[in-house]
Structure 1
Amino acid sequence: MSSFTVGDLREAIEGLPDTHELLFDGGLTFSRLKRWGDNSHVVIFRQVQAELYAKTRKTIQVAFAPAVESDDAVATITVPRL
């Protein structure tokens, strides 16, 4: 995981009005921040992560697919082929 600090984010958005939206490339939708240790947090998105096979997609590490609403504890999703 590459390092990107809160200070980096503050510097990147310095001067932007509070009313401006931050949009995420690839259609990702922000969900929340999750504490990940003493000095780290993870940005959680609403889309489901699906790992791809390293042999066939050496430069792609994860794919995102829309979440499926289901009453089941586990929902099956179809990840499109790239």
Structure 2
Amino acid sequence: MLCIQKNHPPLLVQVTSSGWSSRLKKIKEEPLSKLALASGFNIEVHGWRKLKTNKNKMTIKVIPVKEEDLNEFQST
């Protein structure tokens, strides 16, 4: 998802359920992720899950992707 707001850098969001770790790995392995970050974009993975105490409510885990995170997966 592309999120844009005046006076803020563009934000790319991958929304998922509990499979956030595999989505994060794919983003880190994608060469265009490094280009997007270098171009001023922010990237985040939003992982949703049901609360253990109340199955009718959801909680979110927001994981920002930084350029230094990509360096371990991609060559420069």
Higher share in helix: 2
TM-score by length of 1: 0.24
Higher relative contact order (CA 8 A, sep 6+): 2
Whichever of the two has the greater Rg, that structure is 1
Instruction: Point out the structure with the larger strand share.
Output: 2
Normalising by structure 2, report the TM-score.
0.25
